[in-house]
């Protein structure tokens, strides 16, 4: 099996590449531009593997994508490359439009050109998996769940760009017949997570005895999915999922943000005790603009159709995650030279006019 993974130096992408190369023994070409969140050290375990290749390139580069696809001749393309941080999209939306929308279009066209040139089993078995997010659905009330049929209602430039790319992907199936499948996942967490996101930011800020910022009152709810569970789901979806369909991937682990931070603090109290309790570092800050109240995934379709189940509870997964950050300073310490944990996503105030 030959698979192209885009964005394979990122958080979810690197977990997927490690799984495909080490566990499934597939031949993998990882395409990543290595922007700020791309980190090849996340793939150190693959340095001597003959079934792994890396290409530094932009998915917006049509010639590079066509060349890579036509030369590698993949059986599957798993498309994860994206700008993904909501806060950064608020102050720098242009990169999200370019990468998430134009890049997806470019990759779809490269895949279509390659697929249309195939015959027999190679054409019949080819799959293009577009990996997306539950944020395309917008904000939930207290009792609802996101289903694959939930109407899109994105709130941020990030989620709007991902919604756009989802629509492009499914239209390439309906118009051209390209065998596209879409997955929409809930919030991922686990090892090798860039420290701007809530869980790794909380862990590292706590270790340095910095404040632990919580947006608003901390009552925004997310469904948390351990990254290795997500990777397992993606492998199932691209192998057995039906072209033209979408599959929601969720951990059934809803937590309010304040409860997530408190649980991390409690784990650190046990694993790295100090003279103070880590919860005393919590600081409530001005909420993010357009902050969705609640996300929660109904993964019934994935569970019943393909037999997938999340293996980690939030309790087991967060313990593994905290312990990993304590044990792997070598990985995250260099990143703090680029990102020190400062607040992102604040809309600059307009200058006063005379």
Q: Is 246 left (phi over 0), alpha (psi -120 to 50) or beta?
A: beta
* Inside any domain, residue 319: no
* Inside any domain, residue 97: yes
DSSP 125: H
* Inside any domain, residue 9: yes
For residue 84, the model assigns a pLDDT of 80
C-alpha dihedral sign at 64, 68, 69, 71: positive
Q: Which of 134, 196, 267, 298 is catalytic?
A: 134
For residue 277, the model assigns a pLDDT of 98
For residue 338, the model assigns a pLDDT of 79
CA distance 335 to 23: 28
134 has catalytic annotation: yes
Token digits of residue 333: 């310490």
Residue 82 predicted with pLDDT over 50: yes
Q: Which of 26, 52, 114, 158 is catalytic?
A: 158
For residue 260, the model assigns a pLDDT of 97
Residue 348 predicted with pLDDT over 70: no
Which has the minimum average pLDDT: 105-114, 254-263, 265-274, 281-290? 281-290
Are the C-beta atoms of residues 134 and 146 closer than 8 Å to each other? yes
Q: Quickly count: other Cβ atoms within 10 Å of residue 171's Cβ.
A: 13
* Inside any domain, residue 67: yes
User: Which residue range is the domain that position 44 belongs to?
Assistant: 2-189+227-249
Q: Is 244 left (phi over 0), alpha (psi -120 to 50) or beta?
A: left
Residue 93 predicted with pLDDT over 90: yes
CA distance to 84, 288, 347, per residue, from 90 (Å): 11, 9, 7
158 has catalytic annotation: yes
Model confidence band, residue 341 (pLDDT cutoffs 50, 70, 90) = low
Virtual torsion, Cα 9, 12, 13, 17, nearest 10 deg: 110
For residue 352, the model assigns a pLDDT of 45
Tokens 């880590």, located at residue:
278
| Mean pLDDT, the chain, whole residue set | 93
Model confidence band, residue 340 (pLDDT cutoffs 50, 70, 90) = low
Sheet with 180-185, strands from edge to edge, namely 52-56, 27-32, 2-6, 76-79, 127-133, 180-185, 246-249
* Inside any domain, residue 352: no
* Inside any domain, residue 37: yes
For residue 208, the model assigns a pLDDT of 96
Mean pLDDT of 136-150: 89
Q: What is the CATH number of the domain that holds 102?
A: 3.40.50.720
Domain count, the chain: 1
pLDDT digits (tens, 9 = 90+) for 173-217: 999 999 999 999 999 999 999 998 899 999 999 999 999 999 999
The C-alpha angle 136, 282, 294, rounded to 5 degrees, equals 20
Model confidence band, residue 287 (pLDDT cutoffs 50, 70, 90) = confident
**201: nearest Cα among 335, 297, 309:** 335
For residue 343, the model assigns a pLDDT of 52
C-alpha dihedral sign at 210, 216, 217, 219: negative
pLDDT digits (tens, 9 = 90+) for 309-329: 999 999 999 999 999 999 999
* Inside any domain, residue 35: yes
339 has catalytic annotation: no
* Inside any domain, residue 320: no
Q: Which of 27, 32, 87, 135 is catalytic?
A: 135
């Amino acid at each position: 099996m030959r698979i192209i993974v885009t964005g394979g130096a990122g958080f979810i992408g690197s977990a997927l590449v490690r799984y495909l190369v080490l566990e499934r023994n597939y031949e993998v070409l990882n395409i990543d531009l290595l922007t700020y969140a791309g980190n090849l050290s996340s793939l150190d375990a693959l340095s001597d593997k003959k079934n792994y290749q890396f290409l530094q390139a932009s998915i917006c580069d049509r010639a590079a994508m066509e060349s890579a696809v036509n030369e590698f001749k993949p059986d599957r393309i798993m498309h994860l490359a994206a700008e993904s941080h909501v806060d950064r999209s608020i102050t720098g939306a242009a990169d999200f439009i370019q990468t998430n929308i134009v890049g997806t279009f470019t990759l779809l066209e490269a895949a279509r050109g390659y697929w249309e040139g195939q015959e027999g089993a190679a054409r019949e078995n080819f799959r293009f998996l577009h990996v997306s997010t539950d944020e395309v659905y917008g904000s939930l009330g207290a009792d609802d769940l996101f289903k694959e049929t939930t109407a899109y209602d994105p709130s941020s430039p990030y989620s709007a760009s991902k919604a756009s790319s989802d629509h492009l992907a499914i239209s390439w199936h309906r118009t051209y017949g390209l065998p596209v499948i879409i997955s929409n996942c809930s919030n991922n967490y686990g090892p090798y997570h860039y420290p701007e996101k809530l869980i790794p930011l909380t862990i590292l800020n706590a270790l340095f005895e910095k404040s632990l910022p919580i947006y608003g009152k901390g009552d925004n709810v997310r469904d948390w999915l351990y990254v290795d569970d997500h990777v397992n789901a993606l492998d199932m979806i691209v192998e057995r999922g039906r072209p033209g369909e979408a599959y929601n991937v969720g951990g059934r682990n809803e937590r309010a943000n304040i409860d997530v931070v408190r649980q991390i603090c409690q784990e650190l109290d046990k694993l790295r005790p100090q003279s103070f309790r880590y919860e005393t570092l919590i600081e409530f800050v001005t909420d993010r603009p357009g902050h969705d109240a609640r996300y929660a995934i109904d993964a019934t379709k994935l569970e019943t159709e393909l037999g997938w189940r999340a293996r980690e509870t939030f309790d087991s997964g967060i313990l593994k995650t905290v312990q990993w950050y304590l044990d792997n300073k070598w990985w995250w310490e260099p990143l703090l030279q680029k990102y020190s944990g400062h607040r992102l996503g604040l809309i600059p105030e307009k200058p006063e006019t005379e």
